[in-house]
Amino acid sequence: MTSTRDGAGTLAGVQPSLRAWLEVSRPMLIGGVPVGDAPPLAVEDPSTGLRIAEVAIAGAEHVDRAVSSARAAFEADDWRWLAASDRGRLIRAAAAVVDRHSDELAQLDAIDAGIPIGLSRELIAAGVGSLEYAAGTAARISGDALAPSGLPGDRFGARVLREPLGVVAMILPWNSPAAMLLDKIGNVLATGNTAVVKPAEQTPLGALRVAELFAGAGLPPGVLNVVPGLGSVAGAALVEHPGVDAISFTGSTVTGKRIAAAAAANLTPVSLELGGKSPALVFPDADLDAAVETVAGNAFLLSGQFCTAPSRVFVHRQVFDEVLAGLCAVAGALVVGPPLDPSTTTGPLISGAQRERVLGLVGSGLLAGARAACGGDAVDGPGHYVAPTVLTGTTREMAVEREEVFGPVLSVTPFDGIDEAVRLANDTPYGLAAGVFTGGLATAERMTRDLQAGNVWINCYNAFDPALPFGGYKQSGRARESGTAAIDRYTQTKTVVTAT
């Protein structure tokens, strides 16, 4: 592992216009109007622990205003009854504006969430692609004309209309703030809904800037509102609000369960994209070099702060030593450093509390008999860094093997046969993703069938596309986002029967 950290000023490499934007306390955006009548919340750079900005923090009254604004915008003629082609053009215009500001947003996510700038640029570009895909979704929404089989066909006609839900509450995580909103908001808007966004309290900046850019692209006031705040205050007020018609949450399983329970009081439908403890399985007939690079590259992506990270690696005993050595070689070559340094491949964790949690899980595993093949400790200096870590000898009883670590930590375990591989992979309450590396078609088909995961990648990993549904099995979530699944997720059907 190489470190380039020198404690240099966080904003030294930030473009001047963004630096000026950060110097002003950022207001909420409600109904297209900046709202700053609230206490400030300091935003920290995780690579130094220093304050880089502050935002107005929403209370329950601000959430109520935002929901009312979204409701008014939803019912306005210039949105709810907007032609699908016009709605698509607005989303496409927003995508073009975001694309012009893509490097600014990439820098903002880098300093706000600690994402290495190269990866941040890729994530923002993917978000633009999601917007462009969603722009076409508006025209793909349609109902059906039916000939009822139980009613006289010459006396009755039947139609099934597909309509938007209304006001969608979007609660976002901290691991890729602007990029995550770009990835999700297009489908919410394309289906004719309006939104109130509550970004993570650690990373509120990206959502605020995205909303400003959307407004500049011509989105009507109130269609997209952003209310930064604490989960226990703004988040709770949003989830419990009777004026919210649907909730989209991305985050931990623990928080997702609390949200689902609170939303049940109003019977508000909830889409949950939750945690993962995803397995990667390496068979002896795989291209081992490619498997090692792919698994390690994705396990340490975003310093392991990624819901689909392949944190449990199961390797056939025949090639176990070779794969373990390869994973440690990749981990050792990673450049740990400040996010705006182009040479950095591994940035910090989001906070000191998250670093201590990760180190605590690793330490408990080592005390229980696991071994650190590489890494296993913090990186000296400012910021919230943990060395990329590969563990062996972990067991199901260890918390580091059982819980989602959300840090640059993976465990490597041998298996002897395909039945054992399936059992080990599925021995988790999570089921978000899985990766299979093999040269055998029969093995690939067997694993595709038997793995309990919403996303299975064969000889690749984290291969996303806005046309593909995304979601998890078991405690990794409920419902699906992206692709045609997003139309089902954010619309409802109305059956109309007419006597002729």
Give me the active site residues, please: 273
Contacts of 200 (CB under 8 A, 6+ apart): 172, 173, 174, 177, 251
- Name the amino acid, one letter, at 33: V
Contacts of 169 (CB under 8 A, 6+ apart): 67, 195, 196, 198, 238, 239, 241, 244, 246, 247, 248
Q: E strands along 416-476, which residues?
A: 430-431, 433-437, 455-458, 473-474
The DSSP secondary-structure symbol of 378 reads: B
Cβ contact 247:454 at 8 Å: no
Q: Which of 168, 183, 178 is nearest to 213 (CA)?
A: 178
Token pair in block for residue 417? 């046969």
Cβ contact 478:250 at 8 Å: no
Residue 280's DSSP bridge partners are: 313, 435
- Rounded to whole angstroms, how far apart are CA atoms 310 and 281? 9
Cβ contact 436:445 at 8 Å: no
Burial (0-12, 13-18, 19+ Cβ within 10 Å), 278: buried
CB atoms near residue 169 (< 10 Å) = 29
**Cα distance from N-terminal residue to C-terminal residue, the chain:** 75
Pairing of strands 335-336, 312-316: unpaired
Cβ contact 258:235 at 8 Å: no
- Report DSSP letters for 217-237, one per residue: TTPPTTSEEE----IIIIIHH
Half-sphere exposure of 151 (CA within 13 A, CB side): 13
Cβ contact 385:349 at 8 Å: yes
Contacts of 22 (CB under 8 A, 6+ apart): 11, 14, 52, 53, 205
Helix (H, G, I), strand (E, B) or coil at 13: helix
- Rounded to whole angstroms, how far apart are CA atoms 484 and 191? 11
- Rounded to whole angstroms, how far apart are CA atoms 447 and 457? 10
